[in-house]
Amino acid sequence: MSWFGKMLGGTIGLMIGGPLGAIAGGAIGHHLFDKGDTREGGGAWVNQTGRGAAGTSSVEERQAAFFLALFSILGKLAKADGQVTREEGETVVSFLDQMGVQGRQRQFAIRVFNEAKDSPYSAEDFARQFAGMSRMQPDLRSSMLDMLFQVALADGEYHPKEEEMIAAIAAILGVSQAELDAYRSRYVDTTDTAYAALGLSADADDETVRSTYRKLVREYHPDRIISQGMPQEFVEYATKRFQEIQSAWDAIRKERNL
């Protein structure tokens, strides 16, 4: 991704700033990359001008900020109960696999995760910055909550600290309690896979099922994600989620003769 090379070269830095900028700077500063390698950007993290350097775009800055926010918040959540379990780590790695993130960018994502989980910043700090850059993109918030619940339940236990953190993040992102409950039902105390994939219970009425399905299709449609300038990694993740939604709808539609 073009934003990745520019981040390492210092042309995307201060424009992101805040807690996410600090995490990125720490991840780069921990010698993830060869100090002598300038081909992919060995320069300083911060652009001292205070503005996006020539050659960067708002789309690239947004892509970089989303990537940083995602793995920073996942890092804080994984350690919410005091330790990161093997299952939680494997779940985060599975996200990288789903997104097709490889090579140096994959190493960088893991560094961001580790840097964030041990940082003095809170998950709420990262969420506030994330909310600022995703205000007009509810699909990004949806994907964030999906991943948070997957990490929280990876070890088979929904710890009270994890529940508290997810609720706080959801509130910052502008997610209503009803929406949060729908996400929660996909992963907690539910056995119906098709309904859970839509964030619904099996007793939801037909109109609720239809409207929820249509809403999710709009949010996760690959063409919409691409039109928003999101990175290919997220397009691939959204595409898998879109397919899951379609499969769930097909199963429910056949069951109910809709």
| Among 172, 159, 84, CA closest to 124 | 172
Mean pLDDT confidence for 16-27: 84
Looking at the domain assignment, is residue 236 inside a domain?
no
To 5 degrees, how large is the angle CA 49–CA 125–CA 119? 85
Both tokens of 5, joined, read: 């090379």
Q: Is residue 171 part of a domain?
A: yes
- Interatomic CA distance for residues 119 and 81, integer angstroms: 15
Residue 146 near residue 65, CB atoms below 8 Å: no
> Which secondary-structure segment (H or E) carries 129?
helix 123-133
Task: Answer whether residue 252 is part of any domain.
Answer: no
| Residue 247 placed within a domain | no
- Express each pLDDT in 167-203 by its tens digit: 999 999 888 887 887 778 777 755 467 887 888 888 8
**pLDDT tens track for 48-90:** 333 344 445 567 777 778 888 999 999 999 999 888 999 999 9
Q: Which residue has the higher pLDDT, 179 or 250?
A: 250
Q: Are 61 and 12 in contact (CB under 8 A)?
A: yes
0.75 surpassed by pTM: no
Residues 6 or more apart whose CB falls under 8 angstroms from that of 206 comprise 256, 258
Share of the chain above pLDDT 90, in %: 26
Q: Which residue range is the domain that position 64 belongs to?
A: 2-45+56-186
What length is written for the chain?
258
Domain count, the chain: 1
Task: Report the distance separating Cα 148 and Cα 124, nearest Å.
Answer: 13
Task: Look at residue 227 and tell me if it is in a domain.
Answer: no
